[in-house]
């Protein structure tokens, strides 16, 4: 599953707030475990993210507990069947794709054709 532009902006804002120690991420030791965003009470959080507190919680859950964890679940499944020998190559390919996309985003023609372009697209 790919991240949307809104997801990327959310992660960047979240990173800033975590670095400022306004918010923090905890792992709940249940079975199965999951991540929880802490410190997200008050109107200042809604203002910082530009969405309701419930929207902040929903996007956090989707990104960290659905997308992030499911990516590792997929990796575990593939490596259980093929071993971890492909891991380093997969990481290099992923890094190359990421770098190529960053370079392409500098091109104004690509930005216009980018499906994630626009503030209201998700």
Same domain, 35 and 55: yes
Task: Print the domain residue range for 47.
Answer: 5-82
- Span 96-112, mean pLDDT? 79
Same domain, 58 and 24: yes
- Span 36-54, mean pLDDT? 88
- Name the pTM for this structure: 0.76
- Span 58-70, mean pLDDT? 95
Same domain, 24 and 68: yes
φ, ψ of residue 115 to 5 degrees: the values are -65, -20
Same domain, 28 and 50: yes
Structural domain count, the chain:
2
CA distance 37 to 58: 10
Same domain, 66 and 92: no
Same domain, 31 and 72: yes
Longest CA span, the chain: 48
Same domain, 74 and 95: no
């Amino acid at each position: 599953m790919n991240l949307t532009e809104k997801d990327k902006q959310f992660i960047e804002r979240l990173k800033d707030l975590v670095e400022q120690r306004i918010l923090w991420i905890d792992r709940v030791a249940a079975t199965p475990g999951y991540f929880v965003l802490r410190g997200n009470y008050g109107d200042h959080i809604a203002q910082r993210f530009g969405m309701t507190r419930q929207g902040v919680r929903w996007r956090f859950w989707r990104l960290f507990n659905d997308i992030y964890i499911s990516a590792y679940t997929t990796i575990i499944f593939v490596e259980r069947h093929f071993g971890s020998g492909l891991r380093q190559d997969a990481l290099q390919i992923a890094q190359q794709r990421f770098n190529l996309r960053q370079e392409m985003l500098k091109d104004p023609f690509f930005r216009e054709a980018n499906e994630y372009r626009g503030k209201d697209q998700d």
